[in-house]
């Protein structure tokens, strides 16, 4: 700490005298970029800022870009008018009248270093109390000044201009409610903009409804990203198949917040976040529950035909084995074929969908003598609740009583579960943009999302992310399905809450 305190003053004598070594100017500017945008050094080291008399806070909470903007222009926000700190503006060789009505002399590198570290303007007067004093070493200050000299030549972040932030909305074209959802979300963005928008900018919503044909979805998404260049995207990806689109968004380095996780989980993708777990994560949690109840039990996983369905089943099978299940068999549900009888010693069956084939599986389950657990993701349970007679024959209801399990949300579902989850994704995105300040770049936005903890969307349970956590809802409550009514009831007891991984 003493080294920073002494160097903060000593650097004022040295800044502007040191000439960059050949070839290091670009490196210095790049290091200074991290200080300006994020309030940390290029190595990730933290430093402090003095905000007010003796009030030390992490500089990461008050990075330069928060007030002066990514472009350095500064705009009035909350009654405070941060000045334009582009090099061409700071170094004008005549008295400048600022937006606050004050006049100032031109800055040199040495004078600007004094302003950054001690809060003294070019003419020797004190800067306003809103300007923090940053405790930088001489090398760090040199880096910051190197970046400020090239700041105005940097291109704006994708999806960002002086008056708007372009946000993408991607919807599953196979969903019957996609059109209504787009209209509702467009209305909520318009209402937000009427209230003033965000840091002087309006949110411009660009919508893509994905083609129904799976082979055309990635091409459509890639074209959308190239055409619109959004700052970030939110919405709902199809499942199965959404994992391919999530990989594309990650490859293109576009932050994405999905309503529900799509496909089998992979190692965390930096740019991809989800509000709620998807079918595969729910099935894995249910499989672990059954394995804990019946260690060593034979388990059958019924999954959609195709590579994506098989990948999801493999993930669930791995988790079941880790939890203590016995032999685990995977079986593809081939479209147009009848559900095959289950092995007579099968104690657990897990259905990964789609719901269209669930009625046949339930009929087969009713004939399996050793079966104790029939496990369904929430989507299938919702379909059963809407039309129980379609799925459960009267002759099978007594045999299946006490055997049907699913997961239910931690809080009461909205009238449209998907709309509620997509709405939650939009609120998370807006909150992250607020916390990111005027910087509004993709990298800063991703870092902000990864640091979000216990955020209440008002449309579901609390959401938290982390460096290795990309699904916001940590778990769901186990429920049992009444085979006569299709109604799901929450299970009581210490094993009622199931962690989602």
Supply the pLDDT for residue 439.
66
Record the tokens describing residue 450, joined without a space: 């990864």
Name every residue whose Cβ is closer than 8 Å to that of residue 57 and which is 6 or more positions away in sequence.
Answer: 48, 49, 51, 132
107 and 84 co-located in one domain: yes
What are the distances in angstroms from CA 246 to CA 5, 218, 221, 446?
46, 10, 10, 15
Supply the pLDDT for residue 494.
76
| CA 331 – CA 337 distance, rounded (Å) | 13
Residue 74 lies in a domain: yes
293 and 382 co-located in one domain: yes
Which of 134, 153, 172 is the endpoint of a domain?
Answer: 153
Record the tokens describing residue 468, joined without a space: 């290795």
170 and 253 co-located in one domain: yes
Which of 125, 153, 181 is the endpoint of a domain?
Answer: 153
pTM of this prediction exceeds 0.85: no
Give, for 447, the enclosing helix (H) or strand (E).
Answer: helix 442-450
364 and 383 co-located in one domain: yes
Which of 153, 177, 194 is the endpoint of a domain?
Answer: 153
Helices (H), 279-413: 279-293, 307-323, 358-366, 378-386, 388-391, 394-400
Other Cβ atoms less than 10 A from the Cβ of 47: the count is: 17
Other Cβ atoms less than 10 A from the Cβ of 465: the count is: 23
| CA 265 – CA 471 distance, rounded (Å) | 10
Record the tokens describing residue 320, joined without a space: 């079941």
54 and 140 co-located in one domain: yes
Residue 158 lies in a domain: no
Supply the pLDDT for residue 78.
63
383 and 289 co-located in one domain: yes
Q: Which of helix, strand or coil describes residue 99?
A: coil
170 and 148 co-located in one domain: no
Residue 181 lies in a domain: yes
Radius of gyration of the chain (CA): 28
Ranges in the chain, pLDDT < 50: 1-23, 412-415
Residue 55 lies in a domain: yes
Q: Name the residue range of residue 294's domain.
A: 280-410+476-499
* Per-residue pLDDT tens digits for 65-111: 888 877 787 766 667 778 888 999 898 876 666 555 567 788 999 99
- State the total domains in the chain: 3
Task: Write the DSSP string, 310-344.
Answer: HHHHHHHHHHHHHHT---EEEEEE-TTSPPPPPPT
* Per-residue pLDDT tens digits for 381-399: 888 988 988 998 998 999 9
CA angle 271, 276, 279 (to 5 degrees): 105
Supply the pLDDT for residue 30.
87
Residue 200 lies in a domain: yes
Supply the pLDDT for residue 336.
62
Burial of 262 (0-12, 13-18, 19+ CB in 10 A): buried
Give the domain CATH number at 253: 3.40.50.2300
359 and 464 co-located in one domain: no
23 and 60 co-located in one domain: yes
494 and 449 co-located in one domain: no
Residue 222 lies in a domain: yes
DSSP state of 500: -
Residue 159 lies in a domain: no
Q: Which of helix, strand or coil describes residue 230?
A: coil
Residue 169 lies in a domain: yes
430 and 404 co-located in one domain: no
Record the tokens describing residue 87, joined without a space: 């090099």
Nearest by Cα to 33 from 68, 73, 64: 64
289 and 402 co-located in one domain: yes
């Amino acid at each position: 700490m003493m080294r920073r305190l002494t160097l903060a003053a000593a650097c004022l004598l040295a800044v502007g005298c040191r000439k960059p070594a050949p070839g290091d100017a670009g490196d210095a500017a790049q290091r200074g970029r991290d200080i300006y945008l994020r309030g940390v050094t290029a190595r990730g080291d933290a430093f402090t800022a003095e905000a007010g008399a003796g009030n030390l806070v992490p500089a990461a909470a008050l990075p330069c870009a928060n007030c002066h903007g990514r472009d350095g222009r500064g705009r009035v926000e909350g009654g405070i008018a941060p000045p334009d700190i582009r090099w061409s503006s700071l170094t004008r060789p005549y008295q400048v009248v600022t937006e606050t009505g004050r006049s100032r002399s031109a800055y040199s590198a040495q004078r600007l270093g004094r302003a950054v570290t001690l809060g003294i303007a070019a003419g020797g007067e004190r800067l306003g109390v809103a300007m923090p004093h940053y405790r930088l070493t001489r090398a760090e200050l040199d880096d910051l000044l190197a970046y400020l000299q090239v700041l105005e030549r940097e291109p704006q972040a994708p999806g960002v201009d002086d008056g708007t932030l372009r946000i993408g909305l991607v919807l599953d074209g196979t969903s019957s409610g996609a059109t209504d959802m787009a209209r509702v979300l467009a209305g909520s963005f318009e209402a937000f903009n009427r209230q003033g928008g965000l840091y002087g900018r309006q949110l411009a919503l660009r919508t893509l409804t994905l083609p129904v044909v799976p082979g055309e979805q990635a091409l459509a998404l890639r074209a959308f990203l190239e055409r619109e260049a959004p700052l970030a995207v939110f919405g709902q990806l199809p499942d199965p198949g959404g994992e391919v689109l999530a990989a594309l968004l990650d490859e293109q380095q576009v932050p994405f917040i999905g309503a529900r996780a799509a496909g089998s989980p992979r190692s965390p993708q930096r740019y991809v976040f989800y509000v709620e777990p998807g079918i595969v994560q729910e099935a894995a949690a249910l499989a672990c529950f059954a394995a804990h109840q019946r260690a060593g039990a034979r388990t059958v996983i019924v999954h959609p035909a195709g590579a994506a369905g098989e990948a999801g089943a493999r993930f669930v099978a791995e988790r079941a084995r880790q939890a203590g299940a016995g032999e685990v068999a995977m079986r593809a549900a081939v479209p147009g074929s009848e559900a095959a009888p289950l092995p007579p010693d099968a104690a657990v069956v897990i259905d990964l969908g789609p719901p269209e084939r669930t009625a046949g599986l339930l009929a087969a389950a009713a004939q399996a003598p050793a079966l104790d657990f029939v496990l369904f993701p929430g989507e299938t349970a919702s379909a059963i609740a809407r039309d129980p007679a379609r799925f459960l024959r009267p002759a099978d209801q007594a045999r299946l009583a006490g055997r049907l399990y699913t997961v239910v949300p931690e809080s009461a579902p909205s009238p449209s579960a998907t709309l509620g989850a997509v709405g939650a994704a939009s609120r998370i995105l807006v909150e992250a943009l607020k916390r990111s300040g005027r910087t509004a770049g993709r990298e800063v936005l991703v870092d902000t999302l990864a640091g979000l903890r216990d955020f209440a969307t008002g449309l579901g349970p609390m959401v938290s992310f982390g460096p290795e956590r990309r699904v916001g809802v940590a778990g769901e409550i186990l429920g049992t399905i009444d085979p006569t009514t299709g109604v799901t009831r929450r299970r009581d007891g210490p094993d009622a809450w199931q962690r989602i991984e």
